[in-house]
Amino acid sequence: MVGHARSTHPEMKGQVDNRETSMDRKAACLLQAAVCREQAVADPLNHDYWIDEAIKWLELAHAPASRVVVTIELRPSVRGLAAK
């Protein structure tokens, strides 16, 4: 990446990667908010909906990044995991 300093120090690696990830997340949220604002102009009948969506994306962009926990329930009949 141009313009991004990367640390080779083992203690700093996670901090640098985390900062880059949060900036990518913020940029993506801001981009999505801009798309929603464009939709609001292009679709006057649903203007309020698109503005509400843009506000949600802006709030996500400025919210602190947090970890997400995903759980998956595997049932015995899924992918050959049937009980014997």
Question: What's the pLDDT band for 22 if we cut at 50, 70, 90?
Answer: low
Read off the pTM.
Answer: 0.54
Residue 58 within a domain: yes
Residue 66 within a domain: yes
DSSP 46: G
The domain tally of the chain equals 1
Segments forming the whole domain that contains residue 66: 13-80
Tell me if 27 sits within 8 A of 52, measured CB to CB: no
Residue 52 within a domain: yes
Q: How far is CA 76 from CA 70, 72, 83, in A?
A: 19, 13, 6
pLDDT tens digits, 23-78 = 688 899 999 999 999 999 999 999 999 999 999 999 999 888 766 566 777 666 65
Residue 2 within a domain: no
